[in-house]
Amino acid sequence: GAGVSQSPRYKVTKRGQDVALRCDPISGHVSLYWYRQALGQGPEFLTYFNYEAQQDKSGLPNDRFSAERPEGSISTLTIQRTEQRDSAMYRCASSQGGTQYFGPGTRLLVL
Protein backbone atom coordinates (compact mmCIF):
# COMPACT_ATOMS: atom_id res chain seq x y z
CA GLY A 1 0.00 0.00 0.00
CA ALA A 2 0.93 3.65 -0.21
CA GLY A 3 1.46 4.11 3.51
CA VAL A 4 0.52 2.96 6.96
CA SER A 5 -3.21 2.94 7.51
CA GLN A 6 -5.14 2.82 10.76
CA SER A 7 -8.76 2.24 11.55
CA PRO A 8 -10.97 3.55 12.84
CA ARG A 9 -9.73 7.13 12.61
CA TYR A 10 -11.98 8.15 15.49
CA LYS A 11 -13.50 6.03 18.20
CA VAL A 12 -15.85 7.16 20.93
CA THR A 13 -16.67 4.57 23.55
CA LYS A 14 -18.12 4.36 27.01
CA ARG A 15 -16.06 3.58 30.04
CA GLY A 16 -15.84 -0.15 30.61
CA GLN A 17 -16.15 -1.15 26.97
CA ASP A 18 -13.42 -2.96 25.04
CA VAL A 19 -11.92 -1.39 21.91
CA ALA A 20 -9.76 -2.79 19.12
CA LEU A 21 -7.56 -0.53 17.04
CA ARG A 22 -6.18 -1.76 13.76
CA CYS A 23 -2.92 -0.99 11.98
CA ASP A 24 -2.09 -2.00 8.41
CA PRO A 25 1.64 -1.42 7.81
CA ILE A 26 3.46 -0.68 4.62
CA SER A 27 3.68 -3.88 2.60
CA GLY A 28 6.83 -5.82 3.36
CA HIS A 29 7.81 -3.90 6.48
CA VAL A 30 9.16 -6.25 9.10
CA SER A 31 8.79 -4.07 12.17
CA LEU A 32 5.61 -2.53 13.54
CA TYR A 33 5.31 -0.15 16.48
CA TRP A 34 2.49 1.24 18.61
CA TYR A 35 2.67 4.61 20.35
CA ARG A 36 0.23 6.64 22.42
CA GLN A 37 0.12 10.42 22.27
CA ALA A 38 -1.68 12.44 24.90
CA LEU A 39 -2.81 15.95 24.09
CA GLY A 40 0.14 18.35 24.13
CA GLN A 41 2.70 15.59 24.49
CA GLY A 42 5.01 13.64 22.25
CA PRO A 43 4.15 10.04 21.36
CA GLU A 44 5.16 7.41 23.91
CA PHE A 45 6.20 3.89 23.01
CA LEU A 46 3.83 1.06 23.82
CA THR A 47 5.07 -2.06 22.05
CA TYR A 48 6.69 -3.40 18.90
CA PHE A 49 6.83 -6.47 16.69
CA ASN A 50 9.29 -8.01 14.30
CA TYR A 51 7.20 -10.15 11.99
CA GLU A 52 4.65 -11.78 14.30
CA ALA A 53 6.87 -11.78 17.37
CA GLN A 54 6.28 -9.17 20.04
CA GLN A 55 9.79 -7.96 20.84
CA ASP A 56 9.12 -5.37 23.50
CA LYS A 57 5.95 -4.60 25.41
CA SER A 58 7.53 -2.59 28.15
CA GLY A 59 5.47 0.49 27.33
CA LEU A 60 2.06 -1.08 27.75
CA PRO A 61 0.64 0.72 30.80
CA ASN A 62 -1.15 -2.24 32.39
CA ASP A 63 -2.66 -5.61 31.61
CA ARG A 64 -5.78 -4.09 30.07
CA PHE A 65 -3.63 -3.31 27.03
CA SER A 66 -2.55 -6.03 24.62
CA ALA A 67 -1.39 -6.25 21.03
CA GLU A 68 -1.01 -8.94 18.43
CA ARG A 69 0.25 -9.35 14.91
CA PRO A 70 -0.62 -12.99 14.16
CA GLU A 71 0.48 -13.17 10.52
CA GLY A 72 3.27 -10.65 10.63
CA SER A 73 1.30 -7.96 8.82
CA ILE A 74 -1.83 -6.33 10.29
CA SER A 75 -1.72 -5.60 14.00
CA THR A 76 -4.45 -5.02 16.53
CA LEU A 77 -4.12 -3.08 19.77
CA THR A 78 -6.85 -4.02 22.22
CA ILE A 79 -7.84 -2.08 25.31
CA GLN A 80 -10.14 -3.89 27.68
CA ARG A 81 -12.45 -2.21 30.17
CA THR A 82 -11.57 1.24 28.91
CA GLU A 83 -11.11 4.12 31.32
CA GLN A 84 -11.26 7.85 30.72
CA ARG A 85 -7.50 8.11 31.13
CA ASP A 86 -7.10 5.91 28.04
CA SER A 87 -8.33 8.79 25.87
CA ALA A 88 -5.50 9.71 23.50
CA MET A 89 -4.23 9.44 19.94
CA TYR A 90 -2.92 5.95 19.21
CA ARG A 91 -0.29 5.87 16.49
CA CYS A 92 1.13 2.97 14.57
CA ALA A 93 4.38 2.95 12.63
CA SER A 94 6.14 0.44 10.44
CA SER A 95 9.79 0.34 9.49
CA GLN A 96 12.31 -1.20 7.21
CA GLY A 97 15.93 -0.15 7.42
CA GLY A 98 15.62 1.98 10.49
CA THR A 99 13.13 4.68 9.56
CA GLN A 100 9.67 4.52 11.10
CA TYR A 101 6.75 5.66 8.97
CA PHE A 102 3.66 6.66 10.88
CA GLY A 103 0.01 6.22 10.14
CA PRO A 104 -2.62 8.93 10.66
CA GLY A 105 -3.54 7.64 14.11
CA THR A 106 -6.74 6.65 15.85
CA ARG A 107 -8.18 9.23 18.21
CA LEU A 108 -9.86 7.43 21.11
CA LEU A 109 -12.29 9.20 23.39
CA VAL A 110 -13.60 7.34 26.42
CA LEU A 111 -16.69 8.90 27.97
Interface pattern 1-20 for other proteins (x via CB under 8 A): ---x----------------
3-state secondary structure of 86: helix
Single out the residue of 90, 87, 55, 62 nearest to residue 76, CA to CA.
Answer: 90
Residue 59 binds to other proteins (criterion: CB under 8 A): yes
Residue 100 binds to other proteins (criterion: CB under 8 A): yes
CB of 96 to other proteins, least distance (A): 10
Q: How far is the CA of 52 from the CAs of 35, 59, 75, in angstroms? A: 18, 18, 9
Cα distance between residue 18 and residue 8, in whole Å: 14
CB of 22 to other proteins, least distance (A): 15
Residue 56 binds to other proteins (criterion: CB under 8 A): yes
Show contacts with other proteins in window 26-45 (CB under 8 A): 31, 33, 35, 40-45
**Cβ(46)–Cβ(54) under 8 Å?**
no
Among 18-26, 65-73, 80-88, 100-108, the segment contacting other proteins (CB under 8 A): 100-108
